[in-house]
Amino acid sequence: MKPVSISDYRALARRRLPPFLFEYIDGGSYDETTLARNLADLRAVTLGQRVLCDVSQIDLSSELLGQRQPLPIALGPIGLAGMNARRGEVQAARAAEAAGVPFCLSTVSACSIAEVRAGVEKPFWFQLYMIRDRAFMRDLLDQAQAAGCTHLVFTVDMPVPGTRYRDYRSGLAGAGGMAGALRRAAQAMIRPGWAYDVGLRGGPHSLGNVAPILGPRSGLEDFFAWMRDNFDPGVTWKDLAWVRERWTGPLILKGVLDPRDAVAAADLGADAIVVSNHGGRQLDGVVSTASALPQVARAVAGRLTVLADGGVRSGLDVARMLALGADGVLLGRAWAYALAARGEAGVRHVIDLIGTEMKVAMALTGSTRLSDLRHAISPSD
């Protein structure tokens, strides 16, 4: 199948990846109610079609946090993304660099900060969780700044990991030891392309950034155990001030749904927030990003940059997020599916698709600049 949409890339990723990896990317927490809401509520946003407007020149460029770029998007952080393709985070970072958009590396990536930095010409963003071991956090921040990482995306909606049934059913979670390893190996064998390219040639299979503290226990079997044991459920706004003091570049807080938290982030001195429910992977049953975004954006209008993620599967969805009040959009599953299906070429294609589809959406709403989309919501909504 020749992919022409992000949905096509999802289908190809399902065919290529071992089930335990596909279910990890694709799934949400508990009954996945919020995951479904993210998709449905964004698709329900009604744009107003306009006619007889001069849309011969459409400008998709934007300035996000001091960076001029051709599209108002960034590749958001995804844990274990490097297992989707051989040294996958390096491939994705190269695709983002070629497109002129930011790439954000996850704390729990397969490839380390140093490896990704060696694979690209320009610095990237780094994502961090609040970890009990503050010395280790300081070390990660030092590594990121030494590598020239320009922006810190601090994820604040994960004091404890959400319960994801799919990961238990697939054997990625709750299946340690030899039995778990054999179960995952059996799933890899039914995906020979992945088994050869990633399983055999794509090592080391470890959590590159946390390997120094995990040591020999840095493989997949310790992924969830490490998160459960090391994430800090006692984190407060005072702890975030600790991060603000130690990070000299732009600070982005990811995981905000409540306007009061958005205001607190602005008061703290954050440069941006990401309106997000972690892709429906944390507290199931909370509101979708599309539902929360307008009120949050109004609460901090002019005080900081508002980014959003959750349910974006097309350039039309990016346009909808901008119409709802976002200044920019983080792509998540969209680029992970593409990476799994076709590696760097797939990620480049998805970024191109986003741009092409955005131009169509803007032309049909009579918008020639991104700011015009703020007036593109249908009056009936």
Contacts (Cβ under 8 Å, ≥6 apart) of 192 = none
Catalytic one among 205, 278, 349, 375? 278
User: One-letter amino acid identity for 193?
Assistant: G
- Residue 132 is predicted with a pLDDT of 83
Q: Would you give per-residue pLDDT tens digits along the chain (381 residues)?
A: 899 999 999 999 999 999 999 999 999 999 999 999 999 999 999 999 999 999 999 999 999 998 999 999 999 999 999 999 999 999 999 999 999 999 999 999 999 999 999 999 999 999 998 888 888 889 999 999 999 999 999 999 988 888 899 988 888 877 666 777 788 888 889 999 999 999 999 988 888 887 776 665 555 655 667 677 777 788 889 888 889 999 989 999 999 999 999 999 999 999 999 999 999 999 999 999 999 999 999 999 999 999 999 999 999 999 999 999 999 999 999 999 999 999 999 999 999 999 999 999 999 999 999 999 998 887 654
Q: How many Å apart are CA 244 and CA 232, to the nearest integer?
A: 17
CA-wise closest residue to 20 among 247, 143, 185: 185
- Residue 305 is predicted with a pLDDT of 98
CA-wise closest residue to 23 among 336, 369, 274, 367: 336
Q: How many Å apart are CA 63 and CA 51, to the nearest integer?
A: 28
Domains (range + CATH), the chain: 6-375 (3.20.20.70)
User: One-letter amino acid identity for 231?
Assistant: F
Question: How far is the CA of 94 from the CAs of 29, 102, 209, 345, in angstroms?
Answer: 31, 10, 19, 10
Only one residue has tokens 């503050």, namely: 134
Question: How far is the CA of 240 from the CAs of 150, 162, 268, in angstroms?
Answer: 18, 21, 8
Per the CB < 8 A criterion, the answer to whether 141 and 244 are in contact is no
The reply to whether 278 belongs to the active site is yes
| Helix (H), strand (E) counts: the chain | 16, 10
End-to-end CA distance of the chain: 37
Q: How many Å apart are CA 25 and CA 140, to the nearest integer?
A: 24
Q: How many Å apart are CA 321 and CA 165, to the nearest integer?
A: 29
How many other C-beta atoms can be found within 10 angstroms of the C-beta atom of residue 148?
Answer: 12
- Residue 183 is predicted with a pLDDT of 86
Helical packing angle, 289-299 and 315-323, nearest 10°:
40
Only one residue has tokens 């459409």, namely: 58
